[in-house]
Amino acid sequence: KEKILQVEDLQVTFQTFGGVVQAVRGVTFDLHKGETLAIVGESGCGKSVTSNAIMGLIPSPPGKVTNGKVIFKGKNLTAFNKSEFRKIQGVDVSMIFQDPMTALNPTMSIGEQLTEGLRTHHKISKADAKTKAIEMLNLVGISNPHERLKQYPHQFSGGMRQRIVIAISLICEPTLLIADEPTTALDVTIQAQILELFAEIQEKTGVSIILITHDLGVVAKIADRIAVMYAGKIIEIGTKREIFYAPAHPYTKGLLNSVPRLDLLEEELQPIEGTPPDLFAPPTGCAFTARCPYAMEVCSHAYPVETSLFGQHKVDCWLQDERAKGIFS
Ligand code: SF4
Ligand code: MG
């Protein structure tokens, strides 16, 4: 399948009073047309920073993309300036955040907010924009769209507002949708409906989705592939089956540990004893060493180079590296 996004060795830092935080430390992955990639990990692992960097939303200063490429449909986005980004944001690449209320403007009608992007970027007539807005409300399952267009955000429930946010994000028919914890603020029943909606929309539009989440239940429902992040790096990546049924990294195993059955997954990531390393001075070796029950001497001083397992499965762990077996057997 066609690759629409390639992220290569992305590195992002933030200047703070305490020093420079290395938030993303060399992230590489690609995304195909119509695919959903879930990026999972604890808070502070760099998953939101990664997606913000793709979108050109790293505030600079204090943030900075210090290395790497983000190739989107053949163009390197890390070379884009603000105005070049503005032309694709919400048009070819859209982003949905956790809280639907802050994403909507309380003083504008739903109709105005739906058609705003369309009118700015595509210069279409008011009537055509309205037709498209109605079509989008139908797509996201909001009944009575003619009446609803005139209403304001406070007249909708939380779940309905998130549907509207999704409609706004898709109205310009983007190639890529990045959703950062899109269902975290919603109750469980509504969460399930919104996830089903993502799946339906993907089927109808072929949009590629990057889903940022700490919720394994969400991942189990809609991801095709999963990237597990730890301390600013992707430490394991593979298809949903590969990660859920054959996790290879001790950190991933820890996350999945207490989950009894995949079909019962409603759990958030399980806490693992210990805390992630300080990203002011990240370790040279494997960042999980201090928390890892299998840590060997090599782990603390050399970073484990990515090992390819079966299929699309890749992991950064010395336990999977043939050379470590030679050293320690
Ligand atoms: Fe554990 Fe070593 Fe693997 Fe890191 S490289 S996860 S410390 S075994
Ligand atoms: Mg986040």
Instruction: Give, for ligand 1, the residue of 230, 296, 297 to mutate: max count of ligand atoms closer than 8 Å to Cβ.
Output: 296
Q: Is residue 198 within 8 Å of residue 162, measured between CB atoms?
A: no
Using a pLDDT cut of 70, give the percent of the chain over it: 94
Instruction: Give, for ligand 1, the residue of 230, 255, 273, 299 to mutate: max count of ligand atoms closer than 8 Å to Cβ.
Output: 299
Question: 35 C-alpha to center of ligand 2: Å?
Answer: 21
273-322 pLDDT, tens per residue?
788 888 988 999 999 999 999 999 999 999 998 999 999 999 999 999 88
Atom of ligand 1 minimally distant from the CA of 250: 6
86-107 pLDDT, tens per residue?
999 988 999 998 777 778 999 9
- Round to whole Å and give the CA distance between 224 and 220: 9
Q: Is residue 256 part of a domain?
A: yes
| pLDDT over 50 at 329, yes or no | no
| pLDDT over 70 at 174, yes or no | yes
Nearest residue (by CA) to ligand 1, atom 5, is: 317
Residue 193: exposed, middle, or buried by beta-carbon count in 10 A (0-12, 13-18, 19+)?
A: middle
Atom of ligand 1 minimally distant from the CA of 304: 5
Instruction: Give, for ligand 1, the residue of 229, 255, 309, 317 to mutate: max count of ligand atoms closer than 8 Å to Cβ.
Output: 317
226-240 pLDDT, tens per residue?
999 999 999 999 999
> What pLDDT sits at residue 328?
52
- Round to whole Å and give the CA distance between 207 and 82: 24
Q: Is residue 155 part of a domain?
A: no
Nearest residue (by CA) to ligand 1, atom 3, is: 317
Give the angle 81-85-90 at the CA atoms, nearest 5°. 170
Query: Which alpha helices (DSSP H) does the chain contain, by range?
Result: 47-54, 82-88, 100-103, 110-122, 126-139, 145-148, 158-170, 188-205, 216-222, 240-245, 250-256, 297-301, 322-328
Q: Is residue 241 part of a domain?
A: yes
Question: 47 C-alpha to center of ligand 2: Å?
Answer: 6
54-74 pLDDT, tens per residue?
999 999 899 999 999 999 999
Q: Is residue 98 part of a domain?
A: no
Residue 253: exposed, middle, or buried by beta-carbon count in 10 A (0-12, 13-18, 19+)?
A: middle
- The ligand with the least distance to the CA atom of 289 is 1
CB atoms within 10 A of CB 123: 8
- The ligand with the least distance to the CA atom of 44 is 2
Question: 122 C-alpha to center of ligand 2: Å?
Answer: 31
Q: What domain count does the chain have?
A: 1
- Round to whole Å and give the CA distance between 183 and 211: 10
* ipTM associated with this complex: 0.94
Contacts of 306 (CB under 8 A, 6+ apart): 314, 315, 316
Q: Is residue 133 part of a domain?
A: no
102-160 pLDDT, tens per residue?
789 999 999 999 998 888 888 889 999 999 999 999 999 999 999 999 999 999 998 89
Atom of ligand 1 minimally distant from the CA of 286: 4
Question: 327 C-alpha to center of ligand 2: Å?
Answer: 39
Q: Is residue 103 part of a domain?
A: no
Q: Is residue 70 part of a domain?
A: yes
Residue range of the domain that includes 316: 3-92+172-328
CA distances from 290 to 92, 193, 215, 277, 327 (A): 42, 40, 24, 8, 21
Q: Is residue 270 part of a domain?
A: yes
* CATH for 27: 3.40.50.300
- Ligand 1 pocket (Cβ < 6 Å) reads 249-250, 286, 288-289, 292, 294-296, 299, 304, 317-319
Residue-wise over 312-321: b if at least 16 C-beta within 10 A, else e? ebbbbbbbbb
